[in-house]
Amino acid sequence: MKTIDELLAEGVEGKRVFVRADLNVPLADGTITDDGRIRAVLPTVTKLADAGAKVIVASHLGRPKGAPDPQFSLLPAAERLGELLGKPVAFAQDTVGPAAHDAVDGLEAGQVAVIENLRFNAGETSKDDTERGEFADQLAALADVYVGDGFGAVHRKHASVFDLPARLPHYAGFLIATEVGVLKKLTEDVKRPYVVALGGAKVSDKLAVIDQLLGKADRLLIGGGMAYTFLKAQGHEVGISLLQEDQVPKVKEYIKRAEESGVELVLPVDVLVSTEFPDLKTKAPANPTTVAADAIPADQEGLDIGPETRKLYASKLADAGTVFWNGPMGVFEHPDYAEGTKAIAQALLDSPAFTVVGGGDSAAAVRTLGFDENAFGHISTGGGASLEYLEGKTLPGLAALEN
């Protein structure tokens, strides 16, 4: 795929450059709680603006139903982008209507505008090729060049990700080029031992990547809510813990395959449990108890890996050559259940391995828990995109940039 370096070499002075970013940041009462994804696109936007381009930044945020919805407005993200750039950013209150055209027409060389949430238009996410194409045509009318830099969305066959690049000269931004380079290190040139730590709520979200990794990784460490389906598959009581009963047969198959293929599958040996889920708003003390992973009381719920598991997992990461981590080990948003996730993050920092934090909640946890982002080999901006790449899937947004 052509990169932004090639575009800059060709010259962008006065050109309208459409940057498909991923500004899908978490909001609480209209306030951004984690601006990592905005900061991730800064190098691309800054370079283009400094080179004299008229930069049009576009993104989705949340899951509006194909119509304007104030709670999903990109205005807070646009304002934060302006703060980080250190200069005003124009904001258009629609996607392809009069406001968007006015904002773009008003740009001088080196200036930046953000258009409203792409998903306010049903054409963005439509499964109908014609409807999607019509919206892409409208977006294309705003620009002369397309730069894809929203890695967190490249696994979606959406108008701004898949259809729009076909209508304009297209290039990969710095973020996408970096993300793809890192993922190739996890699939093509892996320094061993290759250790993968997987957490998060649902085992079903990770089944396809586990299927791929059973032939590639040396060790799999399982935590988070998905661990209880593994424990259940081993015949253990999991109480009222998060459980996907319908996935137990598949997990049993994977446990057997791991044994047969020589992949070390490591499960929790102890867990923190409680009779109720913690209050994440007040952060009131939860007073959990620690029990062996095979002795969870029938009326209790596992909410984090225990102290012995933390030590075990740290030891399994200590000699790694490459580590990929996706998914927290527990309910890290509450201080009483954050230690498992902290332990994995710290083990990655202590390891000499090439370490990749696979986006989503893992990336949010690193920032929320106060770790230095720069101390990790790479923190991805796309949890779902990273996983699908590792699964071996063709990602529509990358395929569009390669054509």
Determine if residue 304 is labeled as part of a ligand binding site: no
d(CA 269, CA 300) in angstroms, rounded, equals: 16
Determine if residue 22 is labeled as part of a ligand binding site: yes
d(CA 293, CA 297) in angstroms, rounded, equals: 10
| Amino acid, single-letter form, for residue 202 | K
Determine if residue 37 is labeled as part of a ligand binding site: yes
Give the other-Cβ count within 10 Å of 25's Cβ. 19
Determine if residue 316 is labeled as part of a ligand binding site: no
Determine if residue 123 is labeled as part of a ligand binding site: no
Determine if residue 117 is labeled as part of a ligand binding site: no
Determine if residue 206 is labeled as part of a ligand binding site: yes
Determine if residue 359 is labeled as part of a ligand binding site: yes
Determine if residue 62 is labeled as part of a ligand binding site: yes
Task: State the burial class of residue 403 (Cβ atoms within 10 Å of its Cβ: 0-12, 13-18, 19+).
Answer: exposed
Q: Facing residues of 389 across strands? A: none
Task: State the burial class of residue 92 (Cβ atoms within 10 Å of its Cβ: 0-12, 13-18, 19+).
Answer: buried
Q: Facing residues of 32 across strands? A: 27
What angle do helix axes 36-50 and 75-85 make, rounded to 10 degrees?
60
Task: State the burial class of residue 350 (Cβ atoms within 10 Å of its Cβ: 0-12, 13-18, 19+).
Answer: exposed
Determine if residue 23 is labeled as part of a ligand binding site: yes
Q: Catalytic positions, please?
A: 37, 202, 360, 384
d(CA 227, CA 307) in angstroms, rounded, equals: 16
Determine if residue 61 is labeled as part of a ligand binding site: yes
Determine if residue 205 is labeled as part of a ligand binding site: no
Determine if residue 333 is labeled as part of a ligand binding site: yes
Task: State the chain's maximal CA–CA distance in angstroms.
Answer: 67
For the annotated binding site for ATP, the residues are: 206, 302, 333, 359-362
For the annotated binding site for substrate, the residues are: 22-24, 37, 60-63, 119, 156
For the annotated binding site, the residues are: 22-24, 37, 60-63, 119, 156, 206, 302, 333, 359-362
